[in-house]
Amino acid sequence: MNITFNKNTLAILCLAFSFIIIAQVTIVDTANALTRYFNCVTRVANSNSTFSLDNAEACYDRVFKGALDNDRFGNPLEK
């Protein structure tokens, strides 16, 4: 089976693969945020013998920067 591609087909395939790779990189990067959150919680829990909800919220606000301007339900705070 002989398959031949012209330059336009190869260009379209390269663009499609580039978009797929970029999409995967953005998905993997957001998955790492949860790992950073768990690492922060573990570090705080190991550094002092007590761990509170305030410590967990501080780690959450530090890792997920968008959470700083939202209430606990995710709605933006009015200024």
What's the rounded Cα separation, in Å, for the pair 33 and 30?
5
The most distant pair of C-alpha atoms in the chain lies apart, rounded to whole Å, by 69
What's the rounded Cα separation, in Å, for the pair 67 and 43?
20
What's the rounded Cα separation, in Å, for the pair 59 and 39?
9
Query: Tens place of pLDDT for every residue, the chain, 79 residues?
Result: 456 678 888 889 999 999 988 888 777 666 677 888 899 999 989 987 788 888 888 888 888 776 566 676 667 677 6
Q: Measure CA 59 to chain center.
A: 15
The reported pLDDT for the residue numbered 9 is 85
What's the rounded Cα separation, in Å, for the pair 29 and 35?
10
